[in-house]
Amino acid sequence: MKSFDCVVVGAGPAGSAAAIAARRAGLEVAVVDTAPAGRDKTCGDGLTPRAVHALKELQLDAALPAYRNKGLKLHGYGGSVIAAWPSGHYGTEGSASPRSLFDGTLASLASSSGAEVFYECPATGAEFGADGRITGVITPRGVLGARWVIVADGVRSPFGKQLGRTWHRGEVYGIAARSYCATPFSDEPWMHSHVELRDDEGVIQPGYGWIFPLGDGTVNLGCGALSTDARPAKVNTKKLLGHYADQVRDEWQLGQPEHVTSALLPMGGAVSNVAGPNWMLVGDAAACVNPLNGEGIDYGLETAIMAVDLIADASGRHPDLTLVWPHELRRRYGEAFVLARTLARVLTYPQFLPLAGPMALRGLGGRYLMPAAARLMGNLVTEEDRDLVARVWHAAGSSVSRMRADTPLWDPV
Ligand SMILES: Cc1cc2nc3c(=O)[nH]c(=O)nc-3n(C[C@H](O)[C@H](O)[C@H](O)COP(=O)(O)OP(=O)(O)OC[C@H]3O[C@@H](n4cnc5c(N)ncnc54)[C@H](O)[C@@H]3O)c2cc1C
């Protein structure tokens, strides 16, 4: 058995960022991933300014492509709204990168930082000491001894599940499909989102679509819908994606959608049991995805940094993370996630968008409301922001959190 200070399970953005941060904190690190190097991941590939900021904080700008975007253009119900990324803490640079490339680059950077990266090497179980701490991560290549374990195994979190991670499907979650389409407009510097999607017969469908230019001759085109167990979205996302591509084909001179894949997205911290004495879940494994836009790369990077800060500090102040980690997640994201989850739940009522859409996207709504909404959708309000939108968001967040005090939010079981 080879031993490490920290074993990271999963080499997505959260896992690779954790490995790099842990190496910089002076720890001996191993990363294991089920998939081979350069694996694909179903995603919109969008990098908000918040994600770009986190990459810069980690000095990982090398993982960023040259392509930059300036913000969001929202379309639907007879209106179109342009919402530039607001200047502020995170800066105004957004980007986008196909995940096979982005994640592959981050994993290579983890390897060149000195972490031992094992591909095609799933973590299949854990060994525990008498004190309940994980002592080793079991893999087909043997047991990796571990002082700390960071679990970054994504949305289904198979390793996290073995440790007791539970996803609450009664809370809002996303279902989404993505594809790649060739276009001559892949340098377009705006991310586009359509909130009015129709089928062949022109009937409005639940959900939204996106076109995220990648600057490489293609766009990532996808669509998604919000769902709860009580109100499951009755939509075939792959079929809807085909209709959506047909709707925007002429405007974007699109080729056929290729590499169509779909996935689920647990969101807004709706999971329990995210930490034990010497392990914690980060990124999608901890459902750190914005319920209003399905974005989670930024939170994956941030939670990786937070996790390493805690374990680097842990031998002194936090020898047991079971309660410390959920507390830290709640402190940082709790109010915003509960509020966003509550708003997203409203969107699961099929009547809501056709009623509110025209008001929001046209006239005064379009001019004043949507830029603020785009800032919220881009995860771009910080705790420090004190402008009107931020103050309203914070106040609503704390009231809704008080009203929904019993909602699942990273609770220890
Ligand atoms: C359709 C769709 C569109 C999205 N669009 C966007 C977007 O535009 N922008 C954005 O920011 N976010 C988006 N997201 C969310 C984003 O994809 C995730 O938040 C992000 O991938 C989280 O990164 P992660 O490192 O936590 O998990 P992942 O990227 O899923 O990485 C987890 C890794 O763990 C590995 N693994 C799993 N089990 C094991 C095991 N037992 N042992 C070892 N390894 C294991 C997997 O192989 C994988 O490589 C989208 C999601 C979906 C589904």
Q: Which of 167-171, 351-355, 394-398 has the highest mean pLDDT?
A: 167-171
Mutation test residue for ligand 1: of 153, 173, 265, the one with most atoms within 8 Å of CB = 153
Backbone angles phi, psi at 174, to 5 degrees: -105, 150
Model pLDDT, residue 315: 61
Model pLDDT, residue 291: 86
Residue 316 pLDDT level (bands cut at 50, 70, 90): low
User: Which numbered atom of ligand 1 lies nearest the CA of 155?
Assistant: 30
Model pLDDT, residue 339: 86
Q: Tell me the residue type at 24.
A: R
Q: Where is pLDDT greater, at 350 or 150?
A: 150
Instruction: Give residue 10's region: left, alpha or beta (phi > 0; psi -120 to 50).
Output: left
Q: Whose CA is nearest to atom 39 of ligand 1?
A: 153
- Give the distance, in angstroms, between the CA of residue 297 and the centroid of all CA atoms in the same chain: 4
CB distance 12 to ligand 1 below 6 Å: yes
Residue range 294-300: average pLDDT? 94
Q: Whose CA is nearest to atom 29 of ligand 1?
A: 12
Q: Whose CA is nearest to atom 17 of ligand 1?
A: 43
Asked whether the predicted pLDDT for residue 366 surpasses 70, the reply is no
Lowest mean pLDDT among 180-184, 242-246, 289-293: 289-293
Query: What is the overall mean pLDDT for the chain?
Result: 90
User: Which numbered atom of ligand 1 lies nearest the CA of 16?
Assistant: 25
CB distance 42 to ligand 1 below 6 Å: yes
Q: Which two tokens stand for residue 345?
A: 């739940």
Model pLDDT, residue 24: 95
- Give the distance, in angstroms, between the CA of residue 366 and the centroid of all CA atoms in the same chain: 27
CB distance 295 to ligand 1 below 6 Å: yes
CB proximity list for 309: less than 8 A, separation 6 or greater: 21
Model pLDDT, residue 62: 87
User: Which numbered atom of ligand 1 lies nearest the CA of 46?
Assistant: 8
Q: Where is pLDDT greater, at 329 or 267?
A: 329
Q: Where is pLDDT greater, at 412 or 60?
A: 60
Q: Which two tokens stand for residue 369?
A: 């409301």
Asked whether the predicted pLDDT for residue 260 surpasses 70, the reply is yes
Model pLDDT, residue 391: 81
CB distance 35 to ligand 1 below 6 Å: yes
d(CA 300, CA 333): 12
Per DSSP bridges, beta strands 208-213 and 218-227 are antiparallel
Backbone angles phi, psi at 44, to 5 degrees: -85, -10
What's the gap in Å between 132 CA and the centre of ligand 1?
28
For 107-116, write each residue's pLDDT tens digit. Answer: 999 999 999 9
Model pLDDT, residue 136: 98
Model pLDDT, residue 381: 76
Residue 192 pLDDT level (bands cut at 50, 70, 90): very high
Model pLDDT, residue 167: 92
Model pLDDT, residue 311: 92
Model pLDDT, residue 179: 98
Model pLDDT, residue 47: 96
Q: Whose CA is nearest to atom 52 of ligand 1?
A: 43
Residue 349 pLDDT level (bands cut at 50, 70, 90): low
For 21-57, write each residue's pLDDT tens digit. Answer: 999 999 999 999 999 999 999 999 999 999 999 999 9
Q: Whose CA is nearest to atom 2 of ligand 1?
A: 43
Asked whether the predicted pLDDT for residue 104 surpasses 90, the reply is yes
d(CA 385, CA 86): 12
Asked whether the predicted pLDDT for residue 378 surpasses 70, the reply is no
Residue 364 pLDDT level (bands cut at 50, 70, 90): low
